[in-house]
Structure formats: C-alpha cells, structure tokens
C-alpha cells in the first residue's frame, strides 16, 4: 500500500520525489503563518519557496485561481504524487 512520505533507502529517485512532496507540504503549512522578516522560520520558508516555485509557477500560469483560492498548488501536488508513485515507484521496485 502506498502511503504519503514512504521513504525507502536504496531507491534515491523515489526518495527524492518523496522529499519533494514533503517540501511542498512544508511550504503549504508555512503559508498559513504570517510572514515576518525576523521570524526564525524564514530560512525554512525561503528554501521551501526556492525549491518548489519552479514547479508551481507553470501550474499557476495554466490554472486560474477560484475566487481567493489558488488550486494550482493542489493540482501540482496531486500530479507530482502520481508521478512519484507510478513512475518513480515502478522504476524503483
């Protein structure tokens, strides 16, 4: 059974894909906290943004927001999860 964040040593591509999904989740969680320049979470927020923005930006260009909700993040997360599980998972196992 596939689970979220199922790291398996010996399969580096699959593990990197799972780590990327974890980074997306961290970015989503941090987006709920107010941004402050002197926050101790700023380095984490910056790394999560720099790592995930190149993948999320094309989804944002294609998928318009619905009201004030940006669903492109959710679509990107689902697509990446499918790719990691079905493509990288099959290569690894």
* pLDDT, one tens digit for every residue, the chain (93 residues): 455 556 566 678 888 888 899 999 999 998 888 888 888 888 999 999 999 999 999 999 999 888 888 899 999 999 999 988 888 767 755
The DSSP bridge partners found for residue 66 are: 69
Query: 5's torsion region: left (phi>0), alpha (psi -120 to 50) or beta?
Result: left
H or E stretch including 15? helix 12-30
H helices of 31-87, in order, are: 42-62, 72-82
**Any residues with CB less than 8 A from the CB of 28 and at least 6 apart, and which?**
73, 77
Single pTM value for the model: 0.79
Residue 93's pLDDT is what?
58
Residue 60's pLDDT is what?
92
- Give me 8's structure tokens: 């398996």
Residue 1's pLDDT is what?
47
């Amino acid at each position: 059974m596939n689970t979220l964040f199922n790291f398996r040593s010996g399969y580096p591509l699959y593990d990197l894909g799972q780590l990327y999904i974890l980074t997306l989740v961290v970015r989503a969680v941090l987006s709920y906290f107010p941004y402050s320049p002197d926050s101790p979470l700023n380095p984490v927020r910056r790394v999560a943004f720099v790592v995930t923005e190149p993948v999320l930006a094309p989804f944002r260009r294609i998928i318009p927001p619905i009201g004030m909700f940006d669903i492109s993040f959710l679509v990107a997360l689902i697509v990446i999860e499918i790719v990691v599980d079905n493509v990288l998972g099959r290569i690894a196992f």
